[in-house]
Amino acid sequence: MTLFSFSEAVALLAAILSVLMVGSGNLRTNLLAYALSTAAIALVAGLRAGILGESHLLLIALAMVVIKALWVPWFLSRILDRIKVYFDPGTVLAIPIAMHTGIVLMGISYLLAGRLPLPVDGDPVTGSTTASISLLFTGALFMLTRKTAVSQVVGFLTMENGIFLFALTMARGMPLIVEMGVLLDVLVAVMIAGLITFKIQKSFEHIDVTRLTDLRE
Amino acid sequence: MNEVGNLLICAFWILLGSAVVSAIANVRKPSLFAAPGLVAAAFLGIAASIIGFDKYLSFSAPPPFYLGLAPVAFNVDPLASFFLFLLCLIVLPVAVYAPAYLEQHKSSDGLSGRTFWPSLSIFVLSMGGVILAANALTFLLFFELMSVSSAILVASDIRALRAARAVIVYLGATRVAVVCLAVGFILFYLHSGDWSFSAIKAGDPACLPAAVLVLAGLAIKAGLWPFHIWLPYAHPEAPAPVSALMSGVMVKVALYAMIRLFFGCGVGSASLTLAVILVVLGGVSALWGVLFALVQIDLKRLLAYSTVENVGLIALSLGVALFGKVFASEAVTAFGFAAALYHCLGHGIFKSLLFLCAGAVDSVMHTRDLHRLSGLKNAMPFTMVCFLTGAIAISALPPLNGFVGKWLLYQGLLQVALGDGGVVAPALALAAIGVLALVGGLALACFSKAFFLVFLGRPRNRAVARARECKASMVFGQVFLALACLACAVGSSFIVSGIETIGNVNFMASAATACLDVPLVICILASACVFVYMAITLAGRRVRNYSTWECGYGALSERMQIADESFVQPVASLFRPVLVYKLAQKIEGRDRRHFPEVVSVETSMQSHLESRFYLPIIHLVEYLSNHLARLQAGSIHLYLLYVLITLVFLLLLGVYL
Amino acid sequence: MTDWLLFSIALIVLPFLTVGTIRLLKARLQNRLGPPLLQPFYNFFKLLGKEEVVSNDASWLFRFCAVANLCLALFLALILPWLSFKPVFLIEDLFLAIYLLALLRFFSILQALDAGSPFGGFGASREATLSLLVEPAVVLSLAAVAVIARSTDLGDMFSFARPHTLHDLTVWSTAGAALFLASLAELSRMPVDDPTTHLELTMVHEAMVIESSGPNLALVELAYALRLVVMFGLAGQCFIHALFCVIHPQTSTLAIISLLVIFAMILITALVETVVVKLRWTRVPEYVAYAITMALLAAGGAIMGRMT
Amino acid sequence: MPDILEIDMKVLIALIAAPLALAVMALSLRRIAVISSITSLVSWLQFGASLYLVAPLFVGAGSPVPILPGFLIDRLAGSFLCLTTLVCACSLTQAHFFFRRQLAAGAEVLQRVRLFYCFAVLFSLSMQLVFLCDNLGYMWIAIEGTTLLSAGLVYHNRDRNAVEATWKYLIICSVGIAFALLGTVFLFASSRYGAVPGGTLEISLLTGSAPLLEHQLRRLGFIFCFLGYGTKAGMFPLHSWLPDAHSEAPAPASAMLSGALLNCALFAIYRLSEVSTATGQGAFSSGLVLWSGAVTVLVSGLFLVRQHGLKRLWAYSSIENVGLMLVAIGLGQAPLFFLQALNHSVAKVALFLTSGSIIQITGTKYLKKMRGLAQLSPLCALVLVLAAVSVCGLPPFGSFIPEWVILLSTGQAGQWVQFGFVVTGLAVGFIAVTYHVLRLVSGSPRPRQPLSTPDLFVPVCLLLISLVLGLMIPEFFWGGP
């Protein structure tokens, strides 16, 4: 097994971890699964850095581990502790069904990935492409089926991971500053979202976003 | 720049200046600035239109002013001069009348007080602009300005929700009109590549959709059936001077645009369709308008519906003239054209007169409800004579100008019947003559009703005893217009020959009008009346005053007079299907046949057009809006789902297109 | 000059005579003795000499309208070709005549309403309704005549110098019928209005003039009589023209015929008023429909005539 | 004339640095009056500076001027830069009056106002950066930055509605923008297939080598970016966050959101559609933009019929205008797009600022409870009516001309269905706005006395600008259709 195929496997592992994340109603478990999946993607980035010899990828992988895999889950779990909400108050779609849907979506991702043109470098990247599309789907699924504000943030971050992985695969050589900027934006977004989650709990005494329907026509 | 241009520019600045000054100056009476400004501008306009009557000029605004695609350009030609003259002629008495009216009407405080005068100046200015506009964009600029300023004027009594409703209906109708006009002008532009009116070939068969759209837009503004619904809402709510201007001039401006676009160089093979549309819409609106006018109980609403009638007559005349153009029949064109323009002038004068009279009554009695008015004959003698003049004129009775206009139309129709247009055109023309006769009879009934309910009979309302004639300036406005009615009739052959110069048509109509010789009729009738009156009074018989005949039962109560509904009931029940006329009687009591305790009769009517045509459209929009609003249900999951669905949709499009 | 003289005599005599004749004929048909033939004439002068009572609520319009109506009726008599020997007047326009008639109605309606009497009000309401029903019939039938004459000058339209073809026969006769039927309604005769009942509330004309008295009433009655004879004469002229399409009598004969036709109409009116009952008000439109149908026939005939 | 124009870097740096300094000042100074006066003064200076910067572009040949790698300024960007600074200057000036009244009425907390100024100046900075970016990545970062910073403005009131609106705004826009990032990645990938070795995100390079871009990836990239920035612009059916956010933010912030932020997203869409057009296969993308614009106009017109909040009403009207601008972009007419944006921003800012005063006067934001404004404050009612008229595109105000030209161009392009959509949407929208405004103005007022006096200096000035724009726009502005 070459290093490259190992990185492909890790990418798929990240996708599978995120599908598993859909299978839990416990918010802290979700965060853990998310953190592991992000770490896996960071690992993919690191491996790619090794394979391609692009040192700035290593930097990105490092930043990712620190910010997205460590700080964000920590920050969110602290918020969970503060507001004392640990479980989703009931999902829109039953949890097992959501997870199975995730698996099906992964299959669809595989089909879609096959349709994309190969990258110019010629490496067979079906695995990581599948993983990234699947991560996108899973994130969207998570956002759509979960009711708490924190789950939505996690879903959004999962989608972001998918995009990152995709950029890593398809668009090798994205400028470092862009990647860093994106990371910064994500960081700020999570901070703001966390603050607002806190505020939602204070104002509404729940963080169930399906019940935020005062503003409507 | 010649003197006409200078006069017009002068008038423009005076109007703009008085608008700005009356808006900004923090004085008790903004009318002190605005009314003299309007009068001065009207004089300048009259001078310009008389001097410029036989001139063809064009000028445009200086360079920094530009409407994006076309300059702000104006054109002076005989047709425009004619309508400018009409505008200024009406503005003059209205400007004199308005200050006293507003003072008496107590609507000069709050928003209305501050906006009335600036809006009035802008309104007059924009009507002038529409008349002089030389290209589509200038036209629309002033057209919208005219609509908005008049809407603000209609909303003068903004506290009343009725006024708000009127403005909504009015602006809605105007918007649809502008949309039609805009689309039509754009289509014209795509054909000709030029925004100026002189390039528009409305008769070109390729431009037929554009021409029909423009016609529809103008018909909405003119208040032709079935687009007239805004008129009876907007006119009653506006202050009387504004109603006078709207009804007397503004609807004419739309008709003016029809003449400008469809007559000039625009006659072609497609003009026949336009002529048919005009004739049919004109005929129907004449009948419809006068029928609804007859059954109205609000004096100004009645006048508004009568405007629909008269606009119909003018459109009918235009259709006839267009027929003449299409079939190259000089006599038909001459009579039709003369009828249209003469009636524009005539109706402008007498409808303004009637609105001013109605305003005078309103300002004295504080009601326009015909149920609560009557017996003002002794309190307001001048207003009564002026209203009578207007009523005679608008019922097309000789010897006033209304008659001359209708006479020309009859002659035009007869010329169609005499001409060689197969069987259909003459038959239609004779049918139209029949309809006109019916319209004449209805108008007579309508205005005799309006006149007697306001002025004749015994007072129904105690306020009548306290009523006094309105202020001298208001009387002046009315008398001026009444005399204008008479002058217009006396000088009819002169005016008609002027109209023929405008239309560049055969001088047949003026010759015929000269033969009709209205002055002679007036002289004979007047002298005969004087003679008979002298004969009767000089005989010196005693005249004894006594109570009205009450069958010997003692004093009649003032309610024992014929009321509005009972007067029109025979006619209304004749036209029951059109008016959706219903009469609900209620007689209650233990022995209800002999000792009724409660007796009430209520009549109701409505317009099928509103209930069956316009309301469903509004309901459709509301239905769509309600259902769309469900999309915005507040759930963030739903919103996210929309994003994803859109994504999938776009991806499918991207893959398969 | 002679025709002016003759015409003046006819203008003065005929109105009174017509009303008197109708009354006399009606009385005789109903086996009554009836008033003298010249009773309307006597009445006129008697009324002129009487004191006039005017309502407290009436305005100057009340007396003005009576005067104006008489003048209008006289003017109409001058311009409408109701006698074949009527001399040419200055203005003889068709639509002017029709609308002067309308003006006359307008004034009579105002007069009826001025005092605020309930009777006057009902009369006026009915008069207005009748007039708008009758108007299309009158206008259409005369317009049809104008079409075949190719002119709206009444003198030209009713000129015997113009060639009369057989085609015009239908137009003239139907126009005449329409005018006659319309004038019965217009002038408030049976079957639309019964001028002899005792209840004014059911009437049109009598209800309208209920407030008039003395000289005022005299003027009103004279104006009415003039209108009556002029309308009958006009309808009669149409029939004479119809006749003229077939035979061509002398001018002097025509003069006598025109008088005879008026008499015939008087006779018919008297007969109708004896035989027929008054229609219910709601059924009046059905009656007027006949007049309008006749007018439409005339119009149709005129257009067909143009074709051939 | 020099071939490449020089941009005065000092002024540019000052332009960028000023907001940062202001933000620090807002957090450190104590007195709100000082903060607000300095901020409004500096914002006007910024407007002047941007005019000074951009003026050379309009004098010369007008070729784009590179500033730094990845940053570039051309005529369109320069125009939008000036517009954005103008909108921010007006809003911040009005904010001075607005918060003074709020504080006087005791409806405001000092700390929040301070934060408001901090967020507002940073927000304005990030909006200005959007127009200077030549790099899709930078542009993405700047636009996401505007989302995050303006979330602070929407959050300003901190009540339940504000929290809800902020949450929706943040999540939906972030998801949308995430798709835009994906689209950016696709575009980058598409450039690696021969167009630019190693790939590029520079828009000028992408446009220059457009025909060589990998077709399928480019199209996917366009779709994702369009979806993302369309969400940010409030295109139907992605507009769901917009009425909430615009109505819950304080009036000056609403004005900035509506008058400046929407332009940023639309500018990004315009840049992308430029790239698509340059490939020579732009029919799909321009058709897509045109259609979505037309549908947006129609639907928002219908949405306007049933409204309950004053600022929500104007928010939907903004969506309608976004639709119009999309149509202009779809027709490929940059000057027309800018003209529409300019007129809309000027009128809408006036309207939102006036609405802020109206809400202060009547003490409610619900249309149902607002009655008789004509009695409460005649001047305010008049300004509201005129501003509404101006927004609806009636002459003599400015919006009339771009709307007219948009219709004309749609007709010239032969797109009659879209033409019908736009015309119907505009007519229905106008009638609906008229209805609501008249209901607001007429009737007898609920609170007998106005709760506050309006500050209408800024709106009146903006209306005058709109008037001038309506009467004095020469044809060369868009080079003739």
Flag whether residue A188 sits within 8 Å of chain D, measured between CB atoms. Answer: yes
Residues whose CB is less than 8 angstroms from the CB of residue D476 and which lie 6 or more positions away in sequence, other chains included:
none
State how many domains chain C has: 1
| Residue A4, token pair as written in the block | 């490259």
Least Cα distance to C179 among C231, C244, C251, C250 occurs for C231
Give me the helix-helix angle, A3-22 and A95-115, nearest 10°.
150
Beta strands in chain A (DSSP E): none
Beta bridge partners of residue A87, listed in sequence order: A26
Percentage of chain B lying above the pLDDT 70 cut: 97
Q: Distance from D54 to chain A by nearest Cα, in Å?
A: 27
Flag whether residue D152 sits within 8 Å of chain A, measured between CB atoms. Answer: yes
Nearest CB to A171: which of D145, D189, D308? D189
Instruction: Name the 3-class secondary structure at D422.
Output: helix
What are the helix (H) ranges across D192-214?
203-208
Percentage of chain D lying above the pLDDT 90 cut: 47
Q: pLDDT tens across B41-59, in order?
A: 999 999 998 888 888 888 8
> DSSP letters along B21-50, please?
HHHH---S-THHHHHHHHHHHHHHHHHHHH
Q: pLDDT tens across B147-165, in order?
A: 988 988 888 776 777 888 8
Most confident of B152-156, B302-306, D75-79: B302-306
CB contact under 8 A, A171 and D185: yes
Residues in B 457-476 with any Cβ partner in D closer than 8 A: none
- Kind and range of the H or E element at B608? helix B608-608
Residues whose CB is less than 8 angstroms from the CB of residue B493 and which lie 6 or more positions away in sequence, other chains included:
B510, B511, B513, B514, B516
Please give the Cα distance from D78 to B281 (Å, whole number): 54
| Residue D62, token pair as written in the block | 């007008």
Write down the ipTM of this complex: 0.88
Most confident of A53-57, B347-351, C66-70: B347-351
Q: What angle do CA B612, B618, B624 make, to 5 degrees?
A: 125
Check residue D61 and give its pLDDT.
Answer: 65
Residues whose CB is less than 8 angstroms from the CB of residue C197 and which lie 6 or more positions away in sequence, other chains included:
C203, C278
- Kind and range of the H or E element at D262? helix D262-278
Flag whether residue B168 sits within 8 Å of chain C, measured between CB atoms. Answer: no
Average pLDDT over residues D426-449: 85
CB contact under 8 A, A170 and D198: no
Check residue D465 and give its pLDDT.
Answer: 92
- Asked if omega into B64 is within 30° of 0 (cis), the reply is no
Residues whose CB is less than 8 angstroms from the CB of residue A129 and which lie 6 or more positions away in sequence, other chains included:
A113, A116, A166, A169, A170
Q: Which residue of B has its CA nearest to D435?
A: B168
- A25-39, D12-26, D416-430, range with the lowest pLDDT: D12-26
Please give the Cα distance from D337 to D269 (Å, whole number): 11
With cut-offs at 50, 70 and 90, classify the pLDDT of residue B108: very low
CB contact under 8 A, B632 and A212: no
What are the helix (H) ranges across B456-517?
463-466, 472-490, 492-503, 508-516
CB contact under 8 A, D166 and A217: no
Report the amino acid identity of residue B258: M
Residues in B 415-444 with any Cβ partner in C closer than 8 A: 417-418, 423, 426-427, 430, 433-438, 440-442, 444
| Residue D223, token pair as written in the block | 């779709």
Q: Is the dihedral of CA D347, D352, D353, D355 positive or negative?
A: positive
Q: pLDDT tens across B467-499, in order?
A: 888 888 899 999 999 999 999 988 888 888 888
Check residue D481 and give its pLDDT.
Answer: 35
What residues of chain B lie within 8 A of the CB of C74, using their CB?
528
Flag whether residue A114 sits within 8 Å of chain D, measured between CB atoms. Answer: no
Please give the Cα distance from B497 to B78 (Å, whole number): 12
Q: What angle do CA B488, B491, B492 make, to 5 degrees?
A: 75
Q: pLDDT tens across D224-233, in order?
A: 999 999 999 9
Whether D2 has a pLDDT exceeding 60, the answer reads no
Whether A135 has a pLDDT exceeding 90, the answer reads yes
Whether D3 has a pLDDT exceeding 60, the answer reads no
What residues of chain C lie within 8 A of the CB of B451, using their CB?
110
- Say how many CB pairs under 8 Å bridge B and C: 249
B363-389 as b/e: b if 16+ CB within 10 A: bbbeebebeebbbbbbbbebbbbbbbb
Flag whether residue B543 sits within 8 Å of chain C, measured between CB atoms. Answer: yes
With cut-offs at 50, 70 and 90, classify the pLDDT of residue C202: confident
Check residue B373 and give its pLDDT.
Answer: 84
Please give the Cα distance from B364 to D34 (Å, whole number): 58
With cut-offs at 50, 70 and 90, classify the pLDDT of residue A35: very high
Please give the Cα distance from D213 to D203 (Å, whole number): 12
Check residue D474 and give its pLDDT.
Answer: 72
Query: Model-level pTM?
Result: 0.91
Whether D476 has a pLDDT exceeding 70, the answer reads no
In a 10 Å sphere around its CB, with 0-12 CB exposed, 13-18 middle and 19+ buried, how is residue D283 labelled?
exposed
C partners (3+ CB pairs within 8 A) are: B
Average pLDDT over residues D349-363: 91
Residues whose CB is less than 8 angstroms from the CB of residue B41 and which lie 6 or more positions away in sequence, other chains included:
B11, B14, B15, B18, B88, B91, B124
Probe site for chain C from B410, B415, B460, B544 (most C CB atoms < 10 A): B410
Least Cα distance to A31 among A105, A162, A136, A142 occurs for A142
Question: C154, C81 in Cβ contact below 8 A?
Answer: yes
Nearest CB to A117: which of D137, D141, D216? D216
Check residue B437 and give its pLDDT.
Answer: 92
Question: B382, B478 in Cβ contact below 8 A?
Answer: yes
Report the amino acid identity of residue D464: L
Question: B109, B488 in Cβ contact below 8 A?
Answer: no
Question: B607, D215 in Cβ contact below 8 A?
Answer: no
- B407-416, B512-521, D280-289, range with the lowest pLDDT: B512-521
Probe site for chain A from D173, D185, D191, D196 (most A CB atoms < 10 A): D185
With cut-offs at 50, 70 and 90, classify the pLDDT of residue D480: very low
Q: Distance from D42 to chain A by nearest Cα, in Å?
A: 27
Check residue D280 and give its pLDDT.
Answer: 82
Probe site for chain B from A116, A143, A204, A212 (most B CB atoms < 10 A): A143
Report the amino acid identity of residue B528: A
Q: Which residue of B has its CA nearest to D242?
A: B632
What residues of chain B lie within 8 A of the CB of A140, using their CB?
640, 644
Nearest CB to C95: which of B410, B417, B449? B410
Q: pLDDT tens across C183-198, in order?
A: 988 888 878 887 777 6
Report the amino acid identity of residue C151: S
Nearest CB to D178: which of A120, A156, A188? A156
What residues of chain B lie within 8 A of the CB of C123, using their CB?
none
Number of C-beta neighbours around residue D286 at 10 A? 17
Report the amino acid identity of residue B513: T
Mean pLDDT of all residues in chain A? Answer: 87
Average pLDDT over residues D457-463: 92
In terms of residue numbers, what domain contains C40? Answer: 2-307
Please give the Cα distance from C169 to C238 (Å, whole number): 10
Q: For chain B, how long is the longest CA-to-CA vector?
A: 105
CB contact under 8 A, B159 and D444: yes
Probe site for chain D from B65, B69, B622, B640 (most D CB atoms < 10 A): B69
Distances (CA, A) of B27 to B137, B321, D436: 36, 51, 32
With cut-offs at 50, 70 and 90, classify the pLDDT of residue B26: low
- B32-41, B58-67, B98-107, B608-617, range with the lowest pLDDT: B98-107
What residues of chain D lie within 8 A of the CB of B65, using their CB?
471-472
Q: Distance from A147 to chain D by nearest Cα, in Å?
A: 13
Residues whose CB is less than 8 angstroms from the CB of residue C97 and which lie 6 or more positions away in sequence, other chains included:
C76, C79, C80, C154
With cut-offs at 50, 70 and 90, classify the pLDDT of residue A39: very high
Count the residues in chain A: 217
What's the number of CA atoms in the CB half-sphere (13 Å) around residue D193? 18
| Residue B107, token pair as written in the block | 């609507």
Flag whether residue B640 sits within 8 Å of chain D, measured between CB atoms. Answer: yes
Please give the Cα distance from D236 to A201 (Å, whole number): 31
Whether D479 has a pLDDT exceeding 60, the answer reads no
Least Cα distance to B632 among D234, D255, D158 occurs for D234
Mean pLDDT of all residues in chain B? Answer: 86
Average pLDDT over residues B600-606: 81
- A99-108, C44-53, D287-296, range with the lowest pLDDT: C44-53
With cut-offs at 50, 70 and 90, classify the pLDDT of residue D145: very high
Probe site for chain D from B122, B175, B619 (most D CB atoms < 10 A): B175
Number of C-beta neighbours around residue A31 at 10 A? 24
Please give the Cα distance from A123 to D30 (Å, whole number): 60
Please give the Cα distance from C50 to C101 (Å, whole number): 29
Whether D125 has a pLDDT exceeding 90, the answer reads yes
With cut-offs at 50, 70 and 90, classify the pLDDT of residue C200: low
Q: pLDDT tens across B530-563, in order?
A: 888 887 776 666 788 888 887 778 777 777 888 8
With cut-offs at 50, 70 and 90, classify the pLDDT of residue A202: confident
What are the helix (H) ranges across B295-327?
299-326
CB contact under 8 A, B159 and D427: no
With cut-offs at 50, 70 and 90, classify the pLDDT of residue A121: low
A–B touching, 3+ CB–CB pairs within 8 Å: yes
Instruction: Name the 3-class secondary structure at B648.
Output: helix
Average pLDDT over residues D201-226: 88
Please give the Cα distance from B605 to B565 (Å, whole number): 11
Q: What is the dihedral of CA C196, C202, C205, C207, to 10 degrees?
A: 100
Residues whose CB is less than 8 angstroms from the CB of residue B550 and which lie 6 or more positions away in sequence, other chains included:
B556
Whether B642 has a pLDDT exceeding 70, the answer reads yes
Q: Which residue of A has its CA nearest to B625?
A: A217
Least Cα distance to B248 among B258, B237, B240, B260 occurs for B240
Beta bridge partners of residue B57, listed in sequence order: B76
